[in-house]
Amino acid sequence: MWNVSDLAPVLGVCALGLTTVCVVAIVLWYRARDKELQVQREMRIREIEHQQRIRELEVEREKAKVRQGLRADCLM
């Protein structure tokens, strides 16, 4: 039969190895999550910049329409 005192060093090494694996897994998960959040922030910033550019282009288009209308009125 197995004696508990004979298993203690083996169990200690296994527990230490398992603890190390868990700590490494948590650190890697944290880094991956942090990178994912950073990418999401950057994408949101790009989306906001894109929306601002679209609004600017719409304003320019409306100004061009007004100028076209004024030119048509001048020719009549």
**How far is the C-alpha of 71 from the C-alpha of 76, rounded, in Å?**
9
Q: Which residue has the higher pLDDT, 72 or 50?
A: 50
> For residue 20, which amino acid is it?
T
State residue 75's pLDDT score: 61
Q: Read off the tokens for 63.
A: 């100004």
Q: Is the confidence at residue 17, as pLDDT, over 80?
A: yes
Rounded to two decimals, what is the model's pTM? Answer: 0.62
- Give the separation between CA 42 and CA 68, rounded to whole angstroms: 39
pLDDT at residue 2 is higher than 90: no
In the block, tokens 């910033």 appear at 45
